[in-house]
Each structure stands twice: as C-alpha cells, then as structure tokens.
Structure 1
C-alpha cells in the first residue's frame, strides 16, 4: 500500500510546486526588447511599445506599478492590442497608471475582455479548444467598453477598430489599419482591405487575435508589420518544448515574439505579444513570463 501511495504523493507534490511557481511567475513582469530593420535607410530608429492582455483587476497593485513604469521606456508610439480590463472598476486605475503613456502617440483595438467580463473555463476544455477558429459573444456580463474607448481616444490614442488612418511619428509617415476582435467573430477585414499605402514609410496592421484569415489578408495587401496579442504566449508552456496551445488557429511556433507570415506572394513581419496578465480564473503562468515589448525599428542596411 505504501509503495502505491508514494508515486501519487510525489506527483501531487510536483504538481503543487509547479502551480505555486505559476502563481509567482504570473507577476514576474518583463520588458522584452526586439530590434527590427524595416525603416527606410538613413533615418533614425523608431521605438514602439506593444502592450496587450493586461486583464487588470483593481487589487493588482504590482501590475499597476509595472504599468506606471512603462512611461520610463520613452516610446515614440504605443500599440495596444486589447484585453485591457477584467472588471468595470479597473478602467480608472488603468488610465491613471498610463497617464505618462497616454500623452504619447498611440493606437488600439479591443479584445473580448474589453467587451465582456472573463468567465470560468474548464482547463481541459481550454486545451482541447486551444486552436479554435473563433466564437460568438460569451454569455457573461458586458464591460463598459465605450467608456474605455472614450478615455483612450480622449487622450489622443486612435481607435483602429475597422479603421484606416495615417500618423506622423518621429519623422515617419505610418499607415495603419485595424479590425475588431476575431476571437469573437467581430472582425470584418473588408472594411479596411486594399493595397498598402505606397506613400507611407511603413504600413502596420493591428488585430487582437492573430487568426490566419486576417494574417493572410493583411499580408497579401502588403502590410510591412502586423501586431497582435490574445495568445498569452501559451500561458502554460513546457520548458524545452514551448507552448501547447495558442487559443486560435496560429501555430504554436509563433505564439509570441517576432516571426514572419507569407501569403499572396508577400511576406509581413508579425509580432505577437505574450501579454501582461491572465484571466482571474487562471492566474498563473509557467515558463512564459508576462511581458510588454519595446520593438525598436531601425533602418535597413544600405
């Protein structure tokens, strides 16, 4: 009997230790730094802060301190790919924490947890559906997303939801297009589709969830850079192997960080943020630290 109990006890001990570390790692906030040679030769660098999946709750003081510190990075541009809040009361603390960033040129799209409060999901079901093709709206209470949108837009950030626009940033002309959340099936790329702007120094597409239907269309249209979030980097990864799921139809090899995407005879740079937060119902990360990315764009070699 004792011989049968020992393996079970050992398994429970290892599982408990991993879960405990996952709770710790979920607050090990990190700034990932990436350099990308994509700007016209002879120009200066352009520093883009890519923030995603904050999932803020008001009691998360350490996370709020990290968000406040991001202004010290002095980015030229902020790109926010959604899932900012997990409760209505978090809007004011979030806006206050980002006071230093909201004065910087920025653009945003929303994700499901800007529209709806998070809800409990069975972890086994989550794993089985981890390569889903998107779904309809969840049956959970709505969040005051209009208020969040207005607070961002009121400070100068551009809402890219089904919109194309151009911004002058640090001496560069940047053309943007964005869509609503593909994971909820709210994306309608046709509203912003079309050839890239040939007069822009860079064409950038912004989406919350990096579904292949969007990546294919954006790349075929000639986007230079596509930015997305949603995946949480897999959230629970296996050391030496990587992510098990992406929570969309993107392959796990591109679940976070910089990669490329090819479609329509063209290639785009793709950056997927692993995000800052988690659902309050799954407040852990393993081998996948919460992060923002300081993406430094530099001129291509002559």
Structure 2
C-alpha cells in the first residue's frame, strides 16, 4: 500500500527562499559585478555663457592587480573623449593595486583631471561583518597596513597631469572654461579639513568673471556638502557609497555608509543648503572590497556628466 503526502507548505516556502537566495548570490557575485556601465546625465551648473563641459566621474575602483576586466573597461573610457576627469578616491584595493591602476588610467594621460583620497588609497582593506553597515557608518577598529599613497599620487600628478585636491583648491582651464576646484580628503575618516578651504580658495586670487566652481569629496557627508554650498560650489562630486552595493530592486540602496539620504546614495540629484542649490553627482563606483566581491541591483559604473551653462 502506498500513500501520497504533500510536502509541508513551510518546507516548500523555505526551499523557494533558499533557491532565490542562491540565485541572487550567483548573479551578484558571478555576473553583475562585471556588468560595467557608463551612466550618462546632464546638469545645468556652469556660469552663464560657458561652453559645455564633458566630465568623466570615476570612483571606488578598489583595484587589485588581477582585476583585468575592470582595468580594460576603465582604459576603454578614454574613447569617450572627456574634457575632464573627476576621480573621487578609493582607487586602491590591494597592496599591489597600483599596478592595475596604472594599466587602467594610463590612456587618460594629458586629459585634465582632479582627484581626492578615500581611506583605501592610504590603508589596505580589511574583512568586516557586512551586517554592521546597517547600524550606521562603519568605524575603524584596527590599524591596517599602509599603502604606497605617494607613488599613486605621483602617477596621477606627474604622469597623468591630474591635480591633487585633498584639502586644497586649484584653478584650471578646461575646454575653454575657467573652473575653480576645491576638495577634501576622506571625510569618512575625519581627514577632511574644511576649515583650510577658505584660505586655499583666497590664494587663487580674484575669481575671473564667468568662472565656475566645482567641489570634490570622497565621502558625501552632509557637513561637507553644506560647506561646499557655502563656499560657492556650482556642482559637487562624491563617491564612497557604492550606491549601496547590494540594493533592493524597486527600492534602491539599503545603506550608504555615511549620513547622506539613501535616495541620494547614487546618481545625479541636487543638494540645497541655506537657500542655495547645486547639482550633486554621487558615483556608485566601479569596484568593491576584495572581501565583499558582490554587486546586486547596483551595477558598477562610471558617469559621463555633461555640465552646461545655467
């Protein structure tokens, strides 16, 4: 005698959840983190009468030497012929990461660029419990081995011709436009010295008529964004958030690892402070920590942002 008994509904549901989780892990670890994309956007930010400025915003490469697909993709972006590169940090992701960074960025030599540091440009990444990000911005719990930041900076400044904006300001001529830049070192590690910026800006001399102003930060903390607005930024660039890295489809980022509103953790939005508003572009970045090799509903990206006259 035989009998047919239906499986318990709870077991069926549990099996379905497990299968969905496994499929999501396969997608996020094995597929999506390699689906590099260029996000294109336009924002009115430059002084009236300015020529359009095509800006390639690159962030959070977290480069390891074996990541050849990412290196090849980044190198290919030179074909976009941007007028300006804005690099918002965390380029290194391994003690030998500069090898991959050089391979990725060498085609940009001669294109004007600016950069700031993230913490992983200074110290090696370390394993972390990802659940801790849900309790607020991550904290540094132990001293990690230092990276060769000076060698990376030398490559950027002397070989590529980029300008270091860590807690300072600079004036550049870009595609026929005079642009004043200022930036800060990683605010996530409290390395930003916002109090130094007014003097650095004053040292540039009187701002020419028709000049535009761009602020650059790695971590887009609200205190930094507010000060940038107060200092006259016409546009602001940030990174650090990874766009949430693992997102909920239809909702977006679940964490930002800083105090920026989650809805602004990725993409082009605006930031308003004291009755003044400027475009804000936060890059989701093109990499990840070697200890968290996953992207879900948040493709690795660079941004081609065309700034136009207001």
Q: TM-score band, normalised by the shorter chain?
A: over 0.9
- Paired with 1:97 and 1:218, the residues of 2 have a C-alpha distance of 30
Larger Rg: 2
Q: Residues 248-281 of structure 1: CA distance to partner in whole angstroms, max 9, x if unpaired?
A: 0000010111111111232121110010001111
Report the CA distance between 1:43 and its aligned residue.
Answer: 4.1
Report the CA distance between 1:135 and its aligned residue.
Answer: 4.3
Aligned partner of 1:191 in structure 2 is 196
Q: Which runs of 4+ in 1 moved over 4 A?
A: 134-138, 194-198
Unaligned runs of 5+ in 2: 1-5
Aligned partner of 2:75 in structure 1 is 68
**1:38 equivalent in alignment to 2:51:** no
3-state secondary structure, aligned to 1:243:
coil
Q: Residues 116-166 of structure 1: CA distance to partner in whole angstroms, max 9, x if unpaired?
A: 11111112112222xx3x745752211111111111111211110111110
TM-score by length of 1: 0.93
3-state secondary structure, aligned to 1:213:
helix
3-state secondary structure, aligned to 1:173:
strand
Aligned length: 297
Q: After the TM superposition, which residues 274-293 of structure 1 pair with which residues of structure 2 at under 5 Å, given as runs?
A: 274-293=284-303
TM-score by length of 2: 0.91
**1:151 equivalent in alignment to 2:161:** no
Contact 2:45 2:278 in 1 (8 A): no
Contact 1:116 1:138 in 2 (8 A): no
Aligned partner of 1:100 in structure 2 is 107
- Paired with 1:216 and 1:137, the residues of 2 have a C-alpha distance of 28
- Paired with 1:218 and 1:42, the residues of 2 have a C-alpha distance of 23
- Paired with 1:190 and 1:42, the residues of 2 have a C-alpha distance of 32
Q: After the TM superposition, which residues 180-259 of structure 1 pair with which residues of structure 2 at under 5 Å, given as runs?
A: 180-193=185-198, 198-199=207-208, 201-259=211-269
Aligned partner of 2:3 in structure 1 is none
Match of 1:11 among 10, 17, 20: 17
Say what the alpha-carbon RMSD is for the aligned residues.
1.8
